[in-house]
Amino acid sequence: MLFGFNAEEVFDMAIAIEENGKKFYEDAQKCVSDETVKKLFEELAAEEVKHKERFLELKKLIPDDVKGQGVYDPDNEGTLYLRMMADEHVFSRSDEINEKVCGIKSAEDALKLAIQFEKDTIVFFLTMQEHTETPKGKEMIGLLIKEEQQHVRRLALALRNLTKSS
C-alpha cells in the first residue's frame, strides 16, 4: 500500500499549520490586555511567516519525479499516523482558530493554548522529518523544530512570569 500523503501534501500541511499559527497569534493579541503577552504574540506571528517561507523553499526542492509519489507503507501505519496528526492538530482548520480564540478569557488561557499549538506543531514536524528522505530536508525541518521548541520555552516562561505576578 502506498503512503496516503505525498511530499507536496505533507509540506502543504506544514505551510497551513504555519499560516494558522500566524492567524492565531494575531487574533489572540486582541484578546489579551497584558502588554508583554501581546508583544510576544506579535513576535511569534512574525516568526510563523518565516517558517512558512522556509517550508515553501523546501517544497521547491522536491524533485519533479517524486512530487506525486507516495511512500511504501505496507501496514498503513504512516498514513494513519500522519492523517491523525494533521486532523488532531490544535488548529487543523482556520475556522477552528476563531472558535478557540473566542474561548480565551485571560492571558493565561492564551498562553496555554499557544503552548499546546506549538507542542502539536513540534510533534507533527518530527513526524515529517522522520519521513523526509533527503539529508538537507531533514536538516531544514530540524532547524524549524528547534525554533518551535524555542517558542514553547518563551511561552512557558511568559506563563510562569504571568502566574507569579498574579
C-alpha cell at position 155: 511561552
Which of the two residues, 81 and 18, has the higher pLDDT score? Answer: 18
> How does residue 72 score in pLDDT terms, banded at 50, 70 and 90?
low
CA of residue 133 relative to chain centroid, distance: 20
Q: What's the Cα-to-Cα distance from 20 to each of 56, 91, 120, 141, rounded to whole Å? A: 15, 6, 13, 18
Which of the two residues, 54 and 68, has the higher pLDDT score? Answer: 54
> How does residue 6 score in pLDDT terms, banded at 50, 70 and 90?
low
7-165: CATH number: 1.20.1260.10
Residue 1, pLDDT score: 29
Q: Break the chain into its structural domains and give their ranges.
A: 7-165
Count Cβ atoms below 10 Å from residue 40 Cβ, excluding itself.
Answer: 23
pLDDT higher than 50, residue 148: yes
pTM of the model: 0.77
Q: What is the pLDDT of residues 8-39, one digit of tens each?
A: 777 777 888 888 889 999 999 988 999 999 99
> How does residue 131 score in pLDDT terms, banded at 50, 70 and 90?
confident
Q: What angle do CA 123, 141, 88 make, to 5 degrees?
A: 25
pLDDT higher than 70, residue 48: yes
Helix H or strand E segment including 131:
none
The separation between the first and the last C-alpha atoms of the chain, rounded to the nearest angstrom, is 54
Which of the two residues, 151 and 132, has the higher pLDDT score? Answer: 151
